[in-house]
Chains A and B, each alone.
Chain A
Amino acid sequence: MKKIIFSLLLFTSLYSDASIYIGSSYGYINEKFDTDHDAQSSSNMAKLKIGYGDRDAYGIEFSIDYIDNTSKIFSKQDGKKYAMNIELVKAFDFNTFVNPFFKVGFGSGFLDIQREFQTKLNYGSFNLGAGIFIPMNEHFELEVGYDYKAISYESIDTIVEKIRLSSNTNTIYMGFNVRF
């Protein structure tokens, strides 16, 4: 029963002043691999997103990441990364000129690699994020935020064993959103 009530509240809150919004952002991402495979890489990233919700309540966001990856971690030259994410956003209105938010969700992506048995590596992620919307007017806003992702990669085949890698990424970004 509690779940039904919570879902109804969430849905009505989402629906109340909700609108579709689109946005883009640009940031810097740092990825650190697990302790068994000590490695890290940093890259620029861009994100396109479309969402539905309110800038001071709930929203749901679908986004596509492009990461200008140049790492040499999985192969002699790893390719660019592409990912899709879906996240639930909760924003707040503290009667200041910014609206803080946090978000939680998950995603999946892939990158091209140059290995004997694999030319593509898929991954999944658990996403957390926080940031602020800076409204400029009713329709336009800036966004500054931080994203954390716990990533789990598809296993890598070395014949005698299949190795699974995991990593953590930290991203800071700035973006621009348009609400309709």
Chain B
Amino acid sequence: MKTITSFFLALTATFFISCGENSDAQIITDVESLKINESNVSMYSTDNNINLSATVYYKDGSNADATAFVSWRSSDTAIANVSNGSVAVGSRNGGDTNITVSYENITSLPTHLNIITLNDYTISMIDADANATGTYQLLATATFEDNKTKVIEKNIVWDVNNSAIVSGVGSLTTVQIVSTGDTNITSTLFNDINMTKTIIYTVN
């Protein structure tokens, strides 16, 4: 009986020694808000992707990079699409859209994205020799509504006929002239406006 009593006295003493003040601060802070770090963003309608980033703010004042953990949404996917913070221009030539991030029931304030409209463009072949077959790079240069000129990176489709083969996309598009004769090289911009340019290339 003494053994049992001693055991429980020791147990009780251990218990009360181990007791202490109740913790009154959260040990895992809670989420306060989500924010896209960039506020007003613009890009040209034929640009390659740009990257945005998102931050989660906590109630204890700390924050963390949440870019890869949140859902990204564009209010108009014809103007721009967004995934994991990477913004890709849509199939429409310019416009405005809002980008938001969300996680369960929390959504960020929108970031305004302006896609600058293309007004006109020209196409050419770099270092082309009119009397020789060979591989040449195709180049399309656009003039935008802000009068800036840029090489077209996206939203352009190339087509050729006769004795030529086209490969690659965007600014790296190349054409291979494989025999003599006339070749039409045609580029089309944007599905919604079907802006088209053609050059006729002749190898004698």
Contact = CB atoms under 8 A, between A and B. Distances in A.
Contacts of A159: 31, 34, 56, 64, 66, 69-70, 103
Interface in B17-38: 18-31, 34
B105 interface: yes
Contacts of B24: 72
B119 to A, nearest CB: 42
Interface size class of B (residues with CB under 8 A): 20 to 34
B200 interface: no
Contact of B23 (A39, A98, A160): A39
B55 to A, nearest CB: 10
Interface in B50-101: 56, 58, 64-66, 69-70
Contacts of A75: 26, 30
Name which of B7, B20, B26 has the most chain A CB atoms within 10 A of its CB.
B26
A71 B22 contact: yes
A20 interface: no
A116 B30 CA distance: 7
B28 A172 contact: no
Name which of A33, A70, A72, A131 has the most chain B CB atoms within 10 A of its CB.
A72
B11 interface: yes
Contacts of A144: 8
A117 interface: yes
B193 interface: no
Contacts of B69: 159-160
B12 interface: yes
Contacts of B106: 116
Contacts of B105: 116-117
Interface in A27-43: 28, 30, 32-33, 37-42
A28 B24 CA distance: 19
A156 B56 contact: no
B23 A132 contact: no
A108 to B, nearest CB: 21
A123 interface: no
Pairs A-B, 7 closest by C-beta atoms = A39-B23, A37-B27, A160-B64, A116-B31, A30-B19, A39-B27, A159-B56
27 contacts: A30-B18, A39-B23, A39-B25, A39-B27, A42-B22, A72-B26, A73-B26, A73-B27, A74-B26, A75-B30, A96-B4, A116-B105, A117-B104, A117-B105, A132-B8, A146-B8, A146-B12, A158-B29, A158-B30, A158-B58, A158-B64, A159-B31, A159-B66, A159-B69, A160-B69, A165-B27, A165-B28
Interface of A: 28, 30, 32-33, 37-42, 70-76, 96, 98, 100, 115-117, 130-132, 144, 146, 156, 158-160, 163, 165, 170, 172
